[in-house]
Homo-oligomer: A and B are copies of this chain.
C-alpha cells in the first residue's frame, strides 16, 4: 500500500480511501491510485484491514456438518451459501464424522480465525465449551440437532414425530415384525427417533415389543451388513425402518442383493434426490432441508444484524412420502 501511495504520489490514507470506495476522493486522484495499484499488482489485505477496523467482519461463517459428501449435509451447505451470497458471506466448511473432539477442535480453530458466526450440526454430546463465545456475542445456530448444556438458536426437525409417522405407516400396512436401524442412542437425534418408534408401538397397544431395534448402525456399510444378518435369521422382519438416509441406502443395497426389494417393506428417514427413482421407489419421512437451511441462514443473519433477543428454537414438522417401498405388505 505504501508503494502504491508512493507511485501515485499520495498518502497511504488516500489509497485506503480508494480501495474502500470511500467518498471524497477526486476522480483524477482515484484514477492515479487505481493505475498504480494495477501496475504494482496490489492486493488488498482483508486481515490487516480488519485489525484496526472497529466493527470488523471477516465475512466468513463456519459450517460444521457431519459429512459434506452426504446429500443432507451438502444440500444444507449449498442452501446456506445461497442464502448468504448477496450478503457477501462465505462458508468455511468442515465434516465432523460424528467425532466429538473434532467438533471442539474445529470450533476452536474457527474462533482463532474470527469467523462472524457458526452453524453447527453437532457431533458432541455437550456444548458447554461454546458458552464463553456465545456470551461474547458470537452468533451460533444449531441445525438438525439441539444444543445441550448451553442455550442458543436452533432449527431442528421433530424427529420423534417423524419416527412415529414411519412406524405408524408400517403398522397400518399390516406389519408386526419391524426392524429399526439407527445410530447410537447417544446421538440425540437417534434417541428421539427411537422414542418416536416407541410412541407408535404404544399407540397400537404394542408397548415394549421393540425387539428388533438395532442401534449403533453408523454407515451405509453397517446398514447393509445389519440387514443381511437380519434377513438371514429364522424369523426375519417383514419391514425395516432405516432412521437415516445412508442407512436406508445401505438397506436398499442389501435387499437388492438378496432379491428382497419387492417383498420387504422399507421406510427411510431423510429424503434424497433419487429416492423416487429407486426400485421400488423409496417411502421416506422427509425433513425439508431447504426450509431448514433457509431458517438457519435467516436466523444467523438476524443475529449478525444485532438481534439479541432470547435464543429461538424452531422445529420443522416432517412428512411421510409414500412412494412404494413402504407399502409392501407383510408376506
Q: Which residues of A are interface residues toward B (Cβ below 8 A)?
A: 41, 43-48, 50-51, 58, 60, 67-71, 73-75, 77-79, 81, 88, 90-95, 106, 109, 111-114, 132, 136, 249, 252-253, 256, 272-274, 276-279
CA–CA, A301 to B90, complex, Å? 23
Q: CB-CB < 8 A to A252: which residues of B? A: 277
Shortest beta-carbon distance from A137 to chain B in Å? 12
A92 to B, closest residue via Cβ: B92
Q: How far is the CB of A97 from chain B (nearest CB, A)?
A: 9
User: Which partner residue on chain B sits nearest A69 by CB separation?
Assistant: B78
Closest B residue to A111 by beta carbon equals B43
Is the CB–CB distance between A68 and B60 below 8 Å? no
State whether A41 touches B136 (Cβ < 8 A): yes
Cα separation A109 to B136 with both chains bound (whole Å): 28
Q: List 12 A-B contacts (CB under 8 A).
A: A46-B112, A47-B47, A47-B48, A68-B74, A69-B75, A69-B78, A70-B74, A81-B93, A81-B94, A92-B92, A253-B277, A272-B274
CB neighbours (8 Å) of A249 from chain B are 273-274, 277
Docked complex Cα distance between A71 and B67 (Å)? 12
Least distance between A324 CB and chain B CB atoms (Å) = 11
Q: How far is the CB of A29 from chain B (nearest CB, A)?
A: 23
The answer to whether residues A132 and B277 also contact, given A77-B93, A81-B68 and a CB cut-off of 8 A, is no
